[in-house]
A = this chain, B = another copy of it.
Amino acid sequence: MPSYRAPVEDTLFLLEDVLAIHRYDNLPGFSDASSDVLRAVLSEGGKLAGEVLAPLNLSGDREGCTRNADGSVVTPKGFKQAYDAYAAGGWMGLSVPEEFGGQGLPHVLSTAMQDFVSGANLALGMYPGLTQGAIAALLVHGSQAQKETYLPKMVEGAWTGTMNLTEPHCGTDLGLLKTKAVPNPDGSYSLTGTKIFISAGEHDLSENIVHLVIARIEGAPAGTKGISLFVVPKFLVNEDGSLGERNGVTCGSIEHKMGIHANSTCVMNYDGAKGWLVGQENRGLNAMFVMMNEARLAVGVQGLGQSEAAYQNAVAYARERLQGRALTGAKNPERAADPIIVHPDVRRTLMQIRAFNEAARALALWTALQSDIAHRSQDATERQLADDLLGLMTPVVKGVLTDRGFANAVEAQQMFGGHGYIEEWGMSQFVRDARIAMIYEGANGIQAMDLIGRKLPKDGGRAMMAFLTEVQTFIKDHGEDEAMKPFVGPLQPALNDLQAAVMWLMQNAFTKPDHAGAGATDLMHLLGTVVLGYMWGKIAKAALAAKAEGRDAERMEAKLVLGRFFMERTLPETSLRLARIKAGSETTMALSAEAF
């Protein structure tokens, strides 16, 4: 059976050495995250992930969710107990303000925990994951009364949350939505319509489910300017906070999916369901975006989590499976064959996945740290820079970490040969589960369009300029350091490729938007490759410093090798991406729709 061990030590190294988290002790919540607290929190979180959540991953996939005739949904065996353990550990509110029952710790810590949970059991992790997204939206846009009604129960884990956007005829283009909200005399609304692909829409893990739903108020403008956000609880909440009658929202069916079988993906029917407006009328998409941005980072981390889990199991197999001999002579002469980890092509696979994982983890935590700074810093300049980087990197974390995370799961599965294709080995599940992360919360093509169409030109390209400057400064600062040369040297041409791509797009795409569309995915991956390379630069710097102090020499040496591997094998992709972007859109758009 596959297993999972949370990368606690690596995460601590990233937080303390690479990201120097203690430099931010002046921000609210950060001073509570001392070294001891970090270690205690991550160790506990790692234990929960490895010992409670991971053992239910394969069985949850096999069993899946079941919808009963009355519309109730049963989750797989053990899920309720595991969810309760998660809630009891206080994980739901790790970075929620204390006034609503949370612990107020930095968001970067929640992100580390999301990594562990996503690696251990993606389908299970989605139940609290959606809840955390709903909490974030209510925190920003809910009224004080709504916060007081819902947040403490959600933070406690007694109630869970969902996000209801998609309808059968619209996913990306939410302006087409048809769900209607009719005002009631008491200030509430009656919602009617059908929502699809609603993760955790109905289940047996919590006492109540708090649906956040977008709908059009009767008479509101067509398109995205007439969308409002509503909170629609499964059970109405009485004045005293107790649960009242069942609301008019039911699960019509659950989907038969490629993966994440243990998460109930529901068709939700709203039949005059009672809901309350969250935030302003017709500004619902705005409010939903808070939840979506949070969710996009979390989904990127899911890609990483699956890549890590697949990697760990591939390493175990590569050490145990005896097959063939090393090209340089038997390494295991007393047995009939060598373990396959001696083969260069097997190592190439493992190195490639791990060199991605470590940098991707750094990127996810670095981006989460920008979110903390943007929300908690007292310094307006610092806040703006952090917010710029957060906005710029959100589509990259979502799109690149899930594309590569999936590809890595496939590569790890490949190492198992035929066994990788058999469900009981668990490698197929990593691939099937990782696949969803490329799709939901905005398919990766949409992320690429968000990057090139919104994030890149915003404020005259300020965010991208800030990023280019930061990396260029890093290269300058360390270019003379002999030990840093293998990391800084290759970074310069990669950065040049990114700069050239941005320049080309500025000169060509604003007048001809199809050029941007045709290059969008390549730009997302180009930026992703550069920022992962930059992360390796930062990791290398910290590893060299730790080594010089005599800390963990072997582990640090391994990181330097992995960083060099990334520079040699992955970073050169930037020139291919640039070539594709510069190819423009003429050929791509030349055929008529009928010619396909």
Interface residues of A (CB under 8 A from B): 166, 169-173, 176, 196-197, 255-259, 315, 318-319, 322-324, 327-328, 336-337, 339, 341-351, 354, 406, 410, 413-414, 417-418, 420-424, 428, 431-432, 435-436, 438-440, 443-445, 448-449, 513-514, 516-518, 520-521, 554, 558, 561, 564-565, 568-569, 572-573, 575-576, 579-580, 583, 585, 587-591, 593, 595-596
Contact = CB atoms under 8 A, between A and B. Distances in A.
18 contacts: A170-B323, A176-B322, A176-B323, A257-B423, A327-B513, A327-B517, A343-B517, A344-B516, A345-B449, A347-B518, A348-B588, A406-B410, A413-B435, A414-B443, A558-B595, A564-B587, A565-B587, A572-B576
B257 A561 contact: no
B337 A176 contact: yes
Contacts of A256: 422-424
A169 B521 CA distance: 42
B521 A348 contact: yes
A314 to B, nearest CB: 9
A418 B251 CA distance: 18
Given A172-B324, A176-B336, A344-B588, 10 more contacts: A173-B324, A197-B418, A255-B422, A258-B431, A315-B596, A327-B516, A351-B587, A413-B435, A421-B436, A575-B575
A346 to B, nearest CB: 7
A565 to B, nearest CB: 5
Given A172-B324, A258-B431, A587-B561, A517 B345 contact: yes
Contacts of A343: 445, 517
Given A176-B337, A585-B344, A569 B580 contact: yes
Contacts of A583: 568-569
A171 B517 contact: no
Nearest to A354: B596
A569 B518 CA distance: 11
Contacts of A596: 315, 318-319, 341, 350, 354
